[in-house]
Amino acid sequence: MSEAKESGQWKMSAILTVTQDGTESFESLDQMPKVLRARCVKALQGDESATLVIADEAGRAFVQRQAERKPAGDPETPAPRPAGRYPWRLVLEIALVGGAGLALWLLATLR
């Protein structure tokens, strides 16, 4: 992190990158690998880039924790089961399958 003291204020910069390979932090763009640096510079010039100002160490720790969280669409996260959304439908399906099985059994045994 680069620090510069100007008129009683400290300026620090940190670059936090999150890729498929993991999370890394750098003090400046010069410390980043060339390929990652080029992607970062291209992204920073886009319309969706923003500047994030964090006032204290707790804010920095919060951003670090958020970056390390799994994405919302992570395949390891189980999807809600349809049975949980429609319990009456599950009961109806089980009853129909059971009734069909009972009808076939009765048909086979009563002949």
- Same domain for 17 and 51, yes or no, is yes
Instruction: Please tell me the pTM assigned to this model.
Output: 0.35
**Residue 2 has what pLDDT?**
46
- Same domain for 17 and 57, yes or no, is yes
Total domain count, the chain: 2
* Domain membership flag for residue 75: no
* Domain membership flag for residue 12: yes
Question: What range defines the domain where residue 41 resides?
Answer: 2-68
**Residue 1 has what pLDDT?**
46
Partner residues linked to 9 by β-bridges: 6
Instruction: Output the tens digit of pLDDT for each of the chain's 111 residues.
Output: 445 555 555 666 778 887 788 888 888 888 888 988 888 888 878 777 766 666 677 777 877 787 777 665 555 666 666 556 677 888 899 999 999 999 999 999 987
Asked if 13 and 2 count as a contact pair (C-beta separation under 8 A), the reply is yes
- Same domain for 58 and 84, yes or no, is no
**Residue 66 has what pLDDT?**
76
If one counts every other C-beta atom within 10 angstroms of the C-beta of residue 33, the result is 11
